[in-house]
């Protein structure tokens, strides 16, 4: 029997130390973005200026790893040149691929830099093989990152009907929405990951301390209240507790992390080309722990897929960095369907 090809392990780098952690602990590729609103994780204190990019790419390439540059927000009217400059910069720096969402930017990159490998970002919201094949036909896209709303069977259906490499998320914070189509942050603040590169931008966030509780608000909207014994989370609308029908609970999404360890054999068997770890806003320690654990699991899988078993130590390691200290298979597994 032909051995199954292991998917590439793609890990986040919100900083140069995080990039080094990913490379040193077994990532096949790292992804990062500029320190501006051309990337969808545009938070203060994160991301790369030119000097850090040069060093990061040098470090990764010296160890045989690939570098993917995320330019995955949508150009704003009158500022298209800023996004074009970001693509030009990625090509000049020697990035192995750029991750794009906007069709205009995909068109620009394919015409201006025909040698540059293009990946369709999850922000492009391609949930069908027709959408993926359109991106390939029109712009030469070689890989597509699927939103976290598809079952494993639906992912397999996409793979069977395209020659484009398919990348899926394997660990990290979930997004309850179809990425690229969420308007919650825009509704509350007028800004969103698609426009300024941040969901619930920090300038709209407020923590209010009172006796026995902490309230979190987003642009004046009460998102949650925490007791003194609870850790106060960052206020995003989809992960707040709201009163519905007289009960207060996580009405949209309970804080939890995607963790695909137990279905890794299935992911490999259907032909997924890459597994992506979410978390450019997380610490180098998080990156090291998750990368090291998934590397160990994938290597074990490569040795004997038929007898693969998840080790408790792997689950324990990932549980330490899971959001809400909880894990889920997300949309990949829907037994109620």
Residue-range domains of the chain with CATH: 8-174+256-332 (3.20.20.70), 200-250 (no CATH)
Tell me which DSSP letter residue 57 carries: H
pLDDT of 1 reads 42
Mean pLDDT, consecutive 10-residue stretches, the chain (337 aa), reads 81 97 98 95 90 98 98 94 98 98 97 98 94 98 94 96 97 78 85 83 90 92 90 83 88 84 96 96 95 97 94 94 76 65
Q: State how far the alpha carbon of 334 is from the alpha carbons of 68, 306, 314, in Å.
A: 31, 24, 24
Q: What is the pLDDT of residue 251?
A: 84
Q: 134 Cβ partners below 8 Å, 6+ apart? A: none
Q: Going by C-beta distance under 8 Å and a sequence separation of 6 or more, which residues neighbour residue 70?
A: 31, 32, 33, 39, 40, 41, 98, 99, 121, 280
R_g of the chain, CA atoms, integer Å: 20
Look at strands 213-218 and 205-210 and give their pairing.
Answer: antiparallel
Which residues are paired to 205 by β-bridges? 218
- Say what the pTM is: 0.92
Q: Reduced to 3 states, what is the DSSP secondary structure of residue 251?
A: coil
pLDDT of 335: 59
Tell me, what's the pLDDT at 154?
A: 95
Cross-strand pairs, 327: 257
| Per-residue three-class SS string for 186-215 | HHHHCCCCCCCCCCCCHHHEEEEEECCEEE
* pLDDT value for 97: 98
**pLDDT for 233:** 79
| Cα distance from N-terminal residue to C-terminal residue, the chain | 33
- Token pair, residue 79, equals 């500022």
């Amino acid at each position: 029997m032909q051995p199954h090809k292991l998917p590439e392990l793609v890990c986040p780098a919100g900083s140069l130390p995080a990039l080094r952690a990913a490379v040193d602990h077994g990532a096949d590729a790292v992804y990062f973005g500029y320190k501006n609103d051309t990337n969808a994780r545009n938070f203060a204190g994160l991301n790369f200026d030119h000097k850090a990019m040069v060093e990061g790419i040098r470090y990764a390439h010296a160890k045989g790893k690939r570098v993917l540059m995320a330019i995955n927000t949508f150009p704003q009217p009158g500022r298209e040149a800023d996004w074009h400059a970001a693509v030009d910069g990625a090509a000049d720096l020697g990035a192995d691929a750029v991750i794009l969402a906007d069709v205009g930017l995909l068109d620009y990159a394919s015409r201006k830099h025909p040698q540059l490998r293009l990946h369709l970002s999850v922000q492009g919201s391609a949930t069908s093989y027709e959408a993926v094949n359109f991106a390939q036909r029109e712009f030469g896209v070689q890989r597509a990152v699927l939103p976290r709303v598809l079952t494993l069977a639906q992912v397999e259906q996409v793979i069977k009907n395209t020659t484009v490499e398919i990348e899926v998320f394997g660990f990290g914070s979930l997004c309850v929405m179809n990425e690229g189509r969420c308007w919650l942050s825009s509704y509350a603040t007028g800004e969103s990951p698609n426009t300024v590169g941040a969901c619930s931008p920090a300038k709209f966030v407020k923590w209010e301390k009172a006796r026995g509780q902490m309230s979190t608000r987003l642009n004046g909207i009460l998102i949650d209240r925490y007791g003194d014994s609870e850790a106060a989370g960052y206020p995003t609308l989809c992960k707040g507790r709201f009163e519905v029908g007289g009960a207060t609970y996580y009405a949209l999404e309970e804080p939890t992390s995607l963790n695909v360890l137990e279905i890794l054999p299935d992911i490999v068997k259907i032909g997924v080309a890459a597994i992506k770890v979410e978390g450019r806003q997380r610490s180098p320690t998080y990156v090291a722990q998750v990368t090291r654990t998934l590397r160990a699991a994938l290597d074990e899988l490569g040795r004997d897929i038929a007898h693969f078993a998840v080790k408790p130590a792997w689950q324990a390691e990932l549980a330490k960095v899971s959001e809400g200290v909880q894990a889920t298979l997300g949309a990949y597994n829907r037994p109620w369907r």
